[in-house]
A and B are shown apart, each in its own frame.
Chain A
Amino acid sequence: MIQQISPIPTGMIETQTIEVSIGPQHPSTHGVFRMDAVLDGETVVGLKPVMGYLHRNHEQLAERMTWLASIPYTDRLDYFNSMTNNWALCLSVEKLAGIKVPERAEYIRVIVSELTRILNHSCVIGFMLQDLGAWGTPLLYAFREREKILDLFESLSGARMMCNYMRFGGVRVDMTDAMVAQAKDIVAKFPRFLDEFEQLLSNNEVLLARCQKVGILPKELAINASISGPMARASGVDYDIRKVDKYGVYGRFDFRVPLGEVGDVYDRYYIRVLEMRESIKILNQALRDLPAGAFVAPEVKLRNFKIPPGDGYGRVEAPKGELGFYLVSDEGGKMPYRYHCRPPSFINLTTLEDMCLGHKVADVVIILGSVDIVLGEVDR
């Protein structure tokens, strides 16, 4: 059933492997996720991820409701990053319906998405350190900073996590000057927090010893398994949809894409740190250049919004990787005929076994932590 590597050599001390079910109730599976691990002592010789405990029928639900009503459901996919989820769906629908998004809306979308990215990356590092046994200290520092971003999201969209903020053709609420000032304040203070974070972690010998050369994902495997996001970039794959597609107004910003060499847990950690720094660069530019104007395309209706028959795929660089929605509209066009979501968490998780084999149990949890999954998105 489960593939085993390094069979026990005969003629030596007879040892037994034990099969351990890590999850679905486990402190570090980030939700209801299960790994069926075969252990030889502490070493993992077989591992099978088991998913589906949180299946919520997202795609079929969306096929039975209007385009608009799917937006709040995308919030619940990756509940850390509702903004980018919204954007992915809106981008797909806008592509399909041929809606032009006003300038200001595009900039606001960039701002909230990049804030989401730094929020997500800092918390992921926190969670990973939690898995490393740091008693949540980095996590709570990350939460402390996240709080400020969530405050901004709340004053902007009304909710802290389930923002439901974007609409086809723009965003729901305009960003007032006060909110822009709030965002500028957050962006100005964030590098200081990052420095503190790095001082706490980046040179910590225990972290280095735990993370380096653990859970290596080779570049070829990353490409073949269609890994995306920071995980692919940590393996040295130069693939960032913000650069590849230049969707929205990303073509106008000056930022770089950091790439890792080894593709281990430490690279995945540090790529995220570097990406946060790049996100801050984008945020500074976006907040500086934020144009005036409409924040939502005026021709888009809320009710009886219909899309002519056709299909389209829109994708964004979500903090976890490529998040895309493939949508088919048929006659009538009030609701999707087919609605497919390409979740980065799920696809990034497919290489878990390759990364874990031969490592210790303790490494499995940090490898899982470094993959950065949210079960809402894995199971949908």
Chain B
Amino acid sequence: METIYQLIAGWFAGKPEWLPLAIAIAVPILFIVGVYPAIFAYTTLVERKALGRVQNRYGPNRVGRWGILQPLADGLKLLTKEDIVPRDADKFTHFLAPVIAVIPSVLLFAIVPIAPGLVPVNLNIGILFAFAISTASVLALFMGGWASRNKFSLLGAMRAVAQVVSYEVPMVLAAVAVVMAAGSLSTLDIVKAQTRGGLEIAGWFVFQPWGFVGFVLFAIGAMAESARTPFDIPEAESEIIAGYHTEYSGFKFALFQLGEYLAAIAMAGITVTMFLGGYLGPGIHIPYIGGFIAAFWFFLKLGCMILLNIWIRGTWPRVRVDQLMGFAWKVLLPMSILNIAVVGLWHFMGNKVLAWGVTAAILGLAFVILAKISAAGNIEKRTYRYAN
């Protein structure tokens, strides 16, 4: 916002002073509500096509070449569908839930930088803002599930609330490590902190042991927050039909989907920003086109994260609700707390090569111990005998 304002303030010298400000506010908003929903629409298409290929199918290929118009067709279809509200539903809450589902997801994009200096709003509390906003999405899930007056919806709502609240904790703690290393909550500062010695790749936090662990923790947390497989238990279709949005149809259902996908994309964007160097990449300092190259790197990384999500969705089964909670509290939470300590160690060790080895050893050991403790009781190797 500030960058745009500075850029255009000069052009409107003789005009009323509110005009450049209004434009500077409007452009990012239009960008967020225009570009990201388009990305959402095509994410659904890419997801369906990729899942199809993973499962030896074609995926959508009927509407337009390669199914390009499929999202449009889906949208039209959902728009024209009958809006069904259960008779005993709490009508107002039922109506409000999908709206609330979208708002936090859109707000999340406000702090995701896509090029040097180009972030919709450069908040000095950027990451904290993201977490604060994303907690609000749980309300939508709860309201939708509760207002539907359906036992499956209610179960889904309860699961959603428990899950989002639980995964918030390790996620925030994983982000704390990054904030400590970067020394700032601002997303732009975090990206800048990942350059080292003029190289645009080596400094990415994911290439440090604590950064890698943080990346994994954060990615898992992000998947759980946005209820993606294997953590999609709030809407586990084989168990509770569709969870909190069982009783939604038509465009309200579409809004839930929109909110969920936007949250997933925004979370992927934040992951990229915090661990994968955001918009960093070769060639971003070239005059004039450097900004575009930076945006290209950002969206490339974003796409990779989304594809990783899809790939995982196509492969792994869903975990059970108690395992999900256990995983958050017994594995992710200790790991993330240890990670914070390790970042401190990293910060105060002068020799970075030595620090790399020591931190990697500590985290690896911790992972092995945690894996043994958490898995020993559940998973066993079996051999089978044959009858004579």
Contacts and interface: CB of A to CB of B under 8 A. Distances in A.
B239 A28 contact: yes
Nearest to B386: A256
Given A18-B151, A362-B233, A137 B315 contact: yes
B385 A259 contact: yes
Contact of B378 (A27, A208, A361): A208
A361 B152 CA distance: 11
A100 interface: no
A200 B56 CA distance: 15
A231 interface: no
Given A28-B239, A212-B379, A206 B152 contact: no
Interface stretch (B16-24, B78-86, B320-328): B320-328
Contacts of A54: none
A264 B56 CA distance: 31
Interface in B347-388: 375, 378-380, 382, 384-387
Contact of A243 (B57, B151, B387): B387
B142 to A, nearest CB: 16
A24 interface: no
B185 interface: no
A140 B55 contact: yes
A207 B321 contact: no
A204 B316 contact: yes
A213 B316 contact: no
Interface string A263-276: 00011001100100
Nearest to B379: A208
B371 to A, nearest CB: 9
Interface string A348-380: 000000000000111111000000000000000
B241 interface: yes
Contact of A42 (B241, B321, B375): B321
Given A27-B241, A360-B320, A137 B314 contact: yes
B263 to A, nearest CB: 19
Interface string B316-354: 111111110000000000000000000000000000000
Contacts of A205: 375, 379
Nearest to B327: A209
A136 B238 CA distance: 11
A293 B310 CA distance: 54
Given A135-B51, A238-B387, A361 B155 contact: yes
A18, A131, A240: most-surrounded residue (chain B CB, <10 A): A131
Interface residues of B, number: 41
Nearest to B231: A133
Contacts of A238: 387
Interface string A299-320: 0000000000000000000000
Given A238-B387, A259-B384, A137 B55 contact: yes
Contacts, number: 121
Contacts of B51: 135
Contacts of A340: none
A213 B55 contact: no
A260 B378 CA distance: 17
A266 B238 CA distance: 18
Contacts of B241: 26-27
A200 B229 CA distance: 16
Nearest to A364: B239
A129 B386 CA distance: 25
A135 B239 contact: no
A360 B322 contact: yes
A20 B152 contact: yes
B123 interface: no
Interface in B67-117: none
Nearest to A18: B151
A185 interface: no
Contact of A274 (B322, B375, B384): B384
A144 interface: yes
Given A140-B55, A361-B155, A362-B321, A133 B236 contact: yes
A203 B229 CA distance: 18
B56 A133 contact: no
Contacts of B154: 18
Nearest to A133: B318
B313 interface: yes
A365 B239 contact: yes
A331 interface: no
Contacts of B385: 258-259, 261
11 contacts: A26-B241, A27-B237, A27-B241, A132-B317, A133-B232, A140-B57, A144-B56, A210-B320, A238-B387, A243-B387, A360-B322
Given A133-B317, A210-B323, A274-B384, 10 more contacts: A42-B159, A130-B238, A133-B236, A135-B55, A140-B56, A200-B315, A206-B318, A209-B319, A258-B387, A362-B318
